[in-house]
Amino acid sequence: MLRIGVIGCGGMGRDHIRRLMGTIPNCTVVGCADYLMEVAQKVADQYGIIAFQTGEELIASKDVDAVVIASIDSTHKHYILEALKYEKYVFCEKPLSETIEDCEEVIAAETKIGKRLVQIGFMRRYDRGYAEMKRIISSGELGAPLIVHAAHRNVTQNDDYTTEMAIANTAVHEFDVIRWLLEDEYTSGQVLKVRQSSCSPITRFENPQLVLLETASGARIDVEVQLADGYAYDIQCQVVCEKGTINLPDPYAVTIRSNATRSTPLLKNWTNRFIEAYDIEFTQWVQSVIDDKITGPSSWDGYAACITADAVNRSRGSNQFFPIEMIAKPDLYK
Ligand code: ISE
């Protein structure tokens, strides 16, 4: 039984506690922490677990074998480094961090230990649709991938969401999953301003935005990012290869025939859209920690996504591609 501590008791943290306690084999959650102590206490009471006073205390506890971080993005680096101090396995929700320097610090700390201890929560890699797309691309049966068209549409976002977060917290999923699908690295990127949607709270963030990326092999990618699309949580991805195209399937949905109309409902949030992916992701993570060899998305992958988001965000307003230049890849991640 792997004993897990969860830092961050917001929507994602609570969903992970539910999953780790109810669905995922060979593990249990022993405690949680949140910067709002009363929130941590409420969740702890619900599950009969310990509410730690702080994330640091949770990480240091002898009762905690491995740590899950689902707190706000700006705290990720700190808690990862803290977990690395104790050489504990740590699963951190994406993004690894908001800054390149933070990512490099995590990479330096992990390579110093000389063992992969960090996994980043890029759950889309565990989605059956994306996994099948990767299998087809890697098989080479459709030839080389040339172009990717992707759309990441949210119904709504929190009050504190910003234009930059649409890239660093939302489109970061596409940055990871497309790089993984294509097995290619980005060389440059930019974001374009688009006619603004009346569904957006315009004063808060730009919506939509259009991201363009180039890869080392010359593939081109466009990602439409919407934070307030006015209809559903909708994730689309099409990879155009030399001999055919591959499309991400929509999630399972029943067909309703009524009122002279045939319809299929769409989902409203990511926790439902990727529920199976999260389950597979955590099942594999727990097993890999027990086996003492993690294989999921690494700090390096978190860094690659972050450096891409950084270049894209810096390009805003310039109408130019900004270079994406990574440091040399440490052996640990090869
Ligand atoms: C959120 O943090 C996620 O990870 C979701 O998958 C994404 O769709 C959303 O935009 C993010 O805020």
Ligand 1, atom 4, residue with closest C-alpha: 170
| Pairing, β 66-69 against β 2-7 | parallel
Ligand 1, atom 6, residue with closest C-alpha: 270
* pLDDT reported for residue 309: 98
CB proximity list for 67: less than 8 A, separation 6 or greater: 4, 5, 6, 7, 58, 59, 79, 83, 88, 89, 90, 91
Q: Among the atoms of ligand 1, which is closest to the Cα of residue 166?
A: 10
Q: Which residues line ligand 1 (CB under 6 A)?
A: 154, 169-170, 173, 270
Structure confidence by residue, pLDDT tens digits, 233-242? 999 999 999 9
* pLDDT reported for residue 204: 79
Overall pTM > 0.95? yes
Which residue, 162, 167, 302, is CA-closest to 225?
167
Q: What's the rounded Cα separation, in Å, for the pair 235 and 64?
A: 35
Q: Are 106 and 77 in contact (CB under 8 A)?
A: yes
CA of 166 to the centre of ligand 1 (A): 9
* pLDDT reported for residue 200: 84
Q: Are 153 and 229 in contact (CB under 8 A)?
A: yes
Ligand 1, atom 12, residue with closest C-alpha: 170
Structure confidence by residue, pLDDT tens digits, 185-208? 999 999 999 999 998 876 679 999
CA of 312 to the centre of ligand 1 (A): 18
* pLDDT reported for residue 159: 82
Q: Which residues of the chain have pLDDT under 50?
A: none
CA of 23 to the centre of ligand 1 (A): 22
Ligand 1, atom 9, residue with closest C-alpha: 170
* pLDDT reported for residue 183: 98
* Probe target for ligand 1 pocket from 173, 207, 271, with the most ligand atoms within 8 Å of CB: 173
186-334-86 Cα angle (round to 5): 110
CB proximity list for 152: less than 8 A, separation 6 or greater: 170, 171, 173, 174, 223, 224, 225, 226, 235
* pLDDT reported for residue 202: 63
CA of 156 to the centre of ligand 1 (A): 10
Q: What's the rounded Cα separation, in Å, for the pair 309 and 111?
A: 23
